[in-house]
Amino acid sequence: MPTTPATAANSSSNGTGEAILLELVDEDGRTIGTAEKLSAHQAPGQLHRAFSVFLFDEQGRLLLQQRALGKYHSPGVWSNTCCGHPYPGEAPFAAAARRTFEELGVSPSLLAEAGTVRYNHPDPDSGLVEQEFNHLFVGMVQAPLRPDPSEVGETAYVTAEGLAVRHAQGPFSAWFMTVLDAARPAIRELTGPSAGW
């Protein structure tokens, strides 16, 4: 992945061992400061910038990931293809492509913006809060996955009907349905009406 000033400053290989910082934003998504990642998620939560990626295969199936059991937030639950936080000063589009590659070992094709959504979702299991201004992206996956086991427990491709069954069985991330519903218009445009999204 290309190195930008934001990624270089926040690279784990820069030897500083500094805490990961997130961009704090106002209700309109304007940057107003930074906060350490864990503190931004502690109740009541601080509104910060995030992104969610939805990738589909050629058959119009959504790629889901099960978050690794070692993650401090929402471990072991199913969620969208990839989600995370841009580094301060990093464009959400660049962050979405970067994290998809880091977590799943694949670069998305035809990645496109799909709007934004703002939400406040407490996680009852951890007590952490997702207070996010989330940038949505949709695209295609056209290469074999190489998931990082420290990030991803399992992956699955699902149809719209298959997702309904799997979602009923749970567990899914607290934010999943919010970001999926907000991205649906762009998903339908990408996958076509026959995919059922």
Provide the annotated active-site residues.
Answer: 83, 132
CA 100/CA 119 separation, integer angstroms = 22
CA 138/CA 100 separation, integer angstroms = 12
Angle at 131 between CA 115 and CA 103, to 5 degrees: 70
Whose structure tokens read 């670069």? 107
Instruction: List the one residue out of 27, 28, 2, 138 whose CA is nearest residue 82.
Output: 138
From residue 35, alpha-carbon distances to 40, 80, 149, 196 in Å are: 6, 25, 27, 40
Four-residue CA torsion sign, 168, 154, 104, 99: positive
CA 149/CA 152 separation, integer angstroms = 5
CB atoms closer than 10 angstroms to residue 17: 6
